[in-house]
Amino acid sequence: MDVRLDGKVALITGGSLGLGRAMALRFAEAGASIAIVARGKEALENTAKELREIAGGNKIATYACNVADASEIQLMHAEITKQLGPIDILVNNAGTSQRGPFLEVSDELWQNDLDLKLFAAIRLSRLLLPGMQKRKWGRIMNVLIKAAKAPGAEGAPTAVSRAAGMALTKVLAGEVAKHNVLVNALLVGLIDSNQHQIKHKNSSSSSSYESFLDDMAVAQNIPMGRVGRPEEFADTACFLASDLASYLSGVAINVDGGRSPVV
């Protein structure tokens, strides 16, 4: 199956590392022009260099900003559209896990988490939807976690923020599908990432990183028996962004090796 995104412009938040980087590379391979947004300038430039090597004649843009800040989102949107033109594909991928006992989560942490994971998606969608509706083509993907469907104890604030993101996905999907703007969510399971690499490096374990991941898969009881690869997640996202997924909207797909207890 040849999944193509020729002529499309994709904006990926949290796009410099991990899943964001993997999606950016996959989308570029499929023919899209890419804008990646993250806080760290060095990581952005490193990923942009990789993207330019495979982009052919397509454009690559980077922008360092904090998407939890509404004013920075406005400036970023203006600059990216100036460089690349109207954005066709939005991937709301920014955010890292924040969790702990409910009584220990402060108002500040709640607000920061909601601003980064929920309001960033709200604000970016609000900026991009009018153009998508006018052009009668658009894709919005919200990257969430399996706890959005099945939250556990001590999962706040992230499980709550991500559950709200799933509700946002369904609300938007119902409103804009008539304009051929499709809104879906991808729920992340245990996937190899820079966060796990850092965790392994900081651990006292003498085992290899591969053994570390294998032990994690066993401990988390993943039915497929292994940790996922970023490229597997990116392939799913690329399919959803393409015309091959033209009748999919309002769904939340578990990309987790069967780990989620709910469908």
Q: Please tell me the distance from the alpha carbon of residue 36 to that of residue 16, in angstroms, as a whole number.
A: 7
Residue type, 169: T
Positive or negative: CA dihedral 129, 247, 121, 234: negative
Q: Please tell me the distance from the alpha carbon of residue 159 to that of residue 153, in angstroms, as a whole number.
A: 10
pLDDT at 180: 98
pLDDT at 127: 98
pLDDT at 205: 78
Angle at 145 between CA 211 and CA 113, to 5 degrees: 115
pLDDT at 230: 97
> In a 3-state reduction of DSSP, which class is residue 202?
helix
**How far is residue 178 from each of residues 6, 168, 171, 175, 247, measured CA to CA in Å?**
23, 17, 13, 7, 11
pLDDT at 39: 97
* DSSP alpha helix (H) spans, the chain: 18-29, 41-54, 70-84, 107-114, 120-135, 158-176, 194-202, 209-219, 230-241
pLDDT at 194: 80
> In a 3-state reduction of DSSP, which class is residue 43?
helix
- Full pLDDT tens readout for the chain, 263 residues: 799 999 999 999 999 999 999 999 999 999 999 999 999 999 999 999 999 999 999 999 999 999 999 999 999 999 999 999 999 999 999 998 899 999 999 999 999 999 999 999 999 999 999 999 999 999 999 999 999 999 999 999 999 999 999 999 999 999 999 999 999 999 999 999 888 888 898 987 788 999 999 999 999 999 999 999 999 999 999 999 999 999 999 999 999 999 999 99
Strands 89-92 and 138-145: parallel
